[in-house]
Structure 1
Amino acid sequence: MLLSIIIPVYNERENLVKRLSFLCKQTNKFSIEVIVSNSPETSDDSLEICKNFDKVTYFTSDKKGRAAQMNFGASKAKGDVLLFLHADVQLPTDFYLQIKNAIETGNKAGFFAYKFDKDTPFLKFNSKFTTKDGLFSGGGDQCQFFTKETFKELNGFNEDFCIMEDFEIIGRVRKQKIPFAIIQSKATVSARKYEHNSWLKVNLINGYVFFKYKFGASPENLRKIYKSLLRESV
């Protein structure tokens, strides 16, 4: 199984160094290709960072926006399975074998449970919601993966969504009853939003934006709300 790992980036220099160092070591053990799909609006030296890793393929997407960048990366991928990884998320060390097992047991898609890189009772509480299927599970921080065939059948990420594109595609997976796995080997997610804001504030904003999404608010409106309330770029 060739696994294509697609990383959409926008000024993620520091996180890229960490992710690519780890992933390139994994390419020596497993059948993996690593694709960085950069935003056309990136202003840092992501390209120069990628040049330091000879097993990384770098592209600049022809459109801005994470959904467009991920679709662009997927169009260049050679793998049987596509894994979409945020630059600030660390995969568990057994990610390849876990995905391989999930696919071989009949799943066409899936995502990982996660923990935070800060160990607090409140963040542990949040991470519990990622271990089971539910209203708030399946987002992009959970490292979504799809067989290439399934991703094509879904027509990829909806590029009309400048935010919530991850929940939108998982919503279609559920609606179409596509079998998916929730891998319990946990990814590690950055707690930087919670460091720049309070735990309560982040959760209230996330909940508010999520329910606005469920009730049909436009992606542009959701992004505007999120940016105005949260001290974190979107």
Structure 2
Amino acid sequence: MLISIIIPVYNEEINLLKRLSFLSEIAYQKPIEIIISNSPETTDCTINICKKFENVLFYNSPKKGRAAQMNYGAAKATGEIVVFLHADVQLPTNFYEEITQAINNNYKAGFFSYNFDRSSFLLNINSYFTKKDSLLAGGGDQCQFFLKTTFNELNGFNEDYCIMEDFEMIDRIRDKNIKYTVIQSKATVSARKYDNNSWLKVNLINGYVFMLYKFGVKPLILRKKYQNLLRETV
């Protein structure tokens, strides 16, 4: 069963080198294809990083924005399963087995629980709640995956969402009663947003923006509020 891993990138050369080194090794052992969907606004050496790996497919997305880039990568994918991976997130070593087992168990979609790349009591609290399905579960850091046919039936990510596109997708999956699962093998997520912001600040801002999303605030307004409140690129 071929898995297509799609990584939307915007100036992520440092993180991308780490991700591709790991995934490229797996690609020699398992049937996976690695697709980079590059933002038209990228200014770093992402393309040169990708050229170091013979089993990486590089595409320049004609549109910026994570939703558009992921859709573009999915359109190029030939796998029966599509996985959407952020450049600063590391999949667990057994991700192939976990995803294919989930699909064989008749799940059509899913996502991973995770730990952060550094440990602290407060960050561990966040990680704990990723093990369970909840209103806040399923964000992009949790590495969403889909049967390609299911993804196409959903018409991909909603490109009107320049932020929260991952939660909007999960909401549609729930609304349509599509069977999905939370994989307990943990991805590893960068804690970089906590380096310049306190744990409390990050979680309060995330909760506030998520609440606004649930109340139907337009994505452009959500992104502006997020950028103004948190020192993190969106």
TM-score range, shorter chain: over 0.9
Give runs of aligned pairs for residues 31-50 of structure 1, distance below 5 A. Answer: 31-50=31-50
Contact kept in structure 2, 1:129 and 1:136, CA below 8 Å: no
Instruction: Tell me by how many angstroms 1:28 deviates.
Output: 1.1
Partner residue, 1:198: 198
- Counterpart CA distance in 1 for 2:158 and 2:137 is 18
Counterpart of 1:27, as a letter, is: A
- Counterpart CA distance in 1 for 2:118 and 2:126 is 12
Give runs of aligned pairs for residues 66-85 of structure 1, distance below 5 A. Answer: 66-85=66-85
Unaligned runs of 5+ residues in structure 1 are none
- Counterpart CA distance in 1 for 2:222 and 2:149 is 30
Partner residue, 2:147: 147
Contact kept in structure 2, 1:163 and 1:219, CA below 8 Å: yes
Partner residue, 1:105: 105
Aligned-residue identity in percent: 65
Counterpart of 2:116, as a letter, is: F
Instruction: Tell me by how many angstroms 1:194 deviates.
Output: 0.6
Partner residue, 1:222: 222
Mapped pair 1:10 → 2:15 = no
Q: TM-score, normalised by structure 1?
A: 1.00
Partner residue, 2:92: 92
Partner residue, 2:128: 128
Aligned residues: 234
- Counterpart CA distance in 2 for 1:103 and 1:29 is 20
- Counterpart CA distance in 2 for 1:180 and 1:219 is 25
Q: TM-score, normalised by structure 2?
A: 1.00
Unaligned runs of 5+ residues in structure 2 are none
- Counterpart CA distance in 1 for 2:213 and 2:172 is 14
Instruction: Tell me by how many angstroms 1:105 deviates.
Output: 0.3
Counterpart of 1:143, as a letter, is: C
* Residues 173-224 of structure 1: per-residue CA shift (max 9 Å, x gap): 0110000010000000000001110000000000000000000000000000
Partner residue, 1:63: 63
Contact kept in structure 2, 1:6 and 1:37, CA below 8 Å: yes
Counterpart of 1:73, as a letter, is: G
Contact kept in structure 2, 1:2 and 1:33, CA below 8 Å: yes
CA RMSD of aligned residues (A): 0.4
Runs of at least 4 residues of structure 1 off by over 2 A? Answer: none
* Residues 40-78 of structure 1: per-residue CA shift (max 9 Å, x gap): 000001001100000000000010000000000000000
Contact kept in structure 2, 1:7 and 1:35, CA below 8 Å: yes
Partner residue, 1:186: 186
- Counterpart CA distance in 1 for 2:12 and 2:218 is 27
Contact kept in structure 2, 1:92 and 1:185, CA below 8 Å: yes
Contact kept in structure 2, 1:24 and 1:56, CA below 8 Å: yes
